[in-house]
């Protein structure tokens, strides 16, 4: 699993938002675009407690494009994009479902079975790799970003945000809001 990449890694907790020891690494951010300009904000902790909570909070946001980015313990991330009733999801590492309820929620939403022992040989994203194609990040480029097994979830999210045009803002927001 991807937590093996970071010294200390995850404690293997079954909680959806990480353990007390790694809670400082979790963040959930809403990014929405109005009149061609990105606005960002930290989401409440409850937004990362379940996929249902995340979607409910994102539905309350304004904007032409609404994206939620959730980093769990730098182990994996979820990107959710809402447009009307349409919900598109991306989970950076399918094997995260072995330890994290939020990742299992995503697999269930996508109709993908939980990983088996053979699946733990590779860190593979699941969901909509075309999530940001119309915003300037082609599916193939996103796939390449997610294939970097040495990158942590927050680094991947910052790279995605830079390509979408709000990388500096995301890093400042996360630095200010995450202890």
Using the Cα atoms of residue 139, residue 107, residue 43 and residue 64 in order, give the sign of their dihedral.
positive
List Cβ neighbours of 125 (8 Å cut-off, separation of 6 or more).
Answer: 90, 91, 92, 93, 94, 143, 146
Q: What is the pLDDT along the chain (179 residues), one digit of tens a residue?
A: 333 333 333 333 333 333 333 344 689 999 998 888 999 999 988 888 999 999 999 999 887 789 999 999 989 999 999 988 899 999 999 999 989 999 999 999 999 998 877 666 677 899 999 999 999 999 999 999 999 988 999 999 999 999 999 999 999 999 988 64
Cα 38 to Cα 169: distance, rounded to the nearest angstrom: 9
pLDDT, residue 123, reads 76
Residue 14 neighbours by CB distance under 10 Å: 10
3-state SS assignment for residue 33? strand
Rounded Cα distance, 115 and 113, in Å: 6
pLDDT at 25: 62
For residue 83, the model assigns a pLDDT of 87
pTM to 2 decimal places: 0.83
């Amino acid at each position: 699993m991807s937590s093996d990449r970071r010294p200390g890694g995850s404690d293997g907790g079954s909680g959806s938002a990480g353990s007390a020891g790694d809670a400082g690494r979790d963040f959930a951010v809403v990014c929405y675009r109005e009149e061609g300009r990105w606005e960002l904000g930290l989401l409440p902790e409850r937004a990362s407690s379940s996929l249902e909570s995340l979607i409910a909070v994102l539905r309350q946001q304004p904007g032409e494009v609404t994206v939620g980015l959730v980093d769990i313990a730098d182990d994996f991330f979820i990107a959710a994009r809402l447009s009307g009733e349409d919900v598109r999801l991306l989970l950076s590492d399918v094997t995260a479902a072995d330890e994290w309820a939020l990742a299992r929620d995503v697999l269930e939403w996508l109709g993908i079975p939980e990983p088996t022992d053979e699946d733990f040989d590779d860190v593979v994203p699941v969901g909509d790799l075309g999530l940001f194609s119309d915003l300037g990040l082609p599916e193939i480029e996103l796939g390449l970003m997610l294939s970097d097994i040495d990158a942590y979830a927050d680094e991947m999210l910052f790279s995605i945000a830079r390509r979408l045009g709000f990388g500096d803002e995301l890093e400042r927001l996360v630095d200010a809001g995450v202890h």
